Amino acid sequence: MNLSPKSVKKTLQNKVNELSASSWQYTKKLRILQENSREPHYKNDFSTDDIDGVNGRRKLRECLVDEQGKICCYCMRKISTGSSHIEHFLPKESFLDKDLQYENLFASCNGEGTIIEDDEHCGHRKMNWWRKDMLSPTDMEVEKAFKYSPNGKISSVRGRTTENIAQEMIHNLGLDSFHLERDRLQAIEASEVFDDEEYSEEEIRSFIQYYSNKDNGTYVPYCKAIIDCLEEML
């Protein structure tokens, strides 16, 4: 999951609270309804290979990527319009009535695997997998259900009601893949706050504040992994 800081969650939750979260998408859906006398759907109106479909997907990806501070909704990897895809949290094949609901749409990295077998992750790994108790990136419980360690590993938090589904999500989204663990470790080490210097509680909280917010519209990749490690220092 996008195990991101509270500020990211607040941004993502605006999907649910703001009908105008994507006025462009709303206008396009309304035009399709008026011109064709039918409800618009992703398969018919956004996934086509004509110029309208291609431009529609690109514009929608741009909206989602910018909204998410240019990090993946699941793993927090850095993404761009060209290195991401439109992710339906509730699979569009199973939830046709939600395939264009903005709160169900996210930007996921393309989750490329490496030479290691079964190393694919995020939206392309998840595919149509779904469970009723899955945690959406907009669910505030996400922050409490998952935990990052200083070695870059991710785990479900023991003793919570979400422990089992969180562990299933880690597996089915490939969030424990080798190269994600490696990249998270590198991000933690590159943050330069985990050196031998001792920091005051005030300084640590200022670091947490920094990694919890956008800088010029962008979050630091794997920011929640860094924040979890900082919070362990308090």
198-231 tens-digit pLDDT: 899 999 999 999 999 999 999 999 999 999 999 9
User: Residue 125: how many CB atoms within 10 A of its CB?
Assistant: 20
Q: Residue 8 pLDDT more than 60?
A: no
Separation CA 73–CA 66 (nearest Å)? 12
CB 124 within 8 A of CB 85: yes
For residue 114, name the pLDDT band (cuts at 50, 70, 90): low
pLDDT digits (tens, 9 = 90+) for 147-157: 999 999 999 99
Separation CA 121–CA 124 (nearest Å)? 6
CA 228 to chain centre: 17
Mean pLDDT of the residues in the chain: 86
CB 134 within 8 A of CB 47: no
Separation CA 151–CA 188 (nearest Å)? 8
- Report the predicted TM-score, pTM, of the whole model to 2 decimal places: 0.86
Q: Residue 21 pLDDT more than 60?
A: no
Predicted pLDDT of residue 118: 66
Q: Which residue has the higher pLDDT, 3 or 121?
A: 121
Predicted pLDDT of residue 207: 95
pLDDT digits (tens, 9 = 90+) for 26-71: 777 777 777 887 787 787 777 778 887 788 888 889 989 999 999 9
Predicted pLDDT of residue 10: 45
Show the CA angle centred on residue 53, arms to residues 16 and 108, nearest 5°: 45
Predicted pLDDT of residue 52: 79
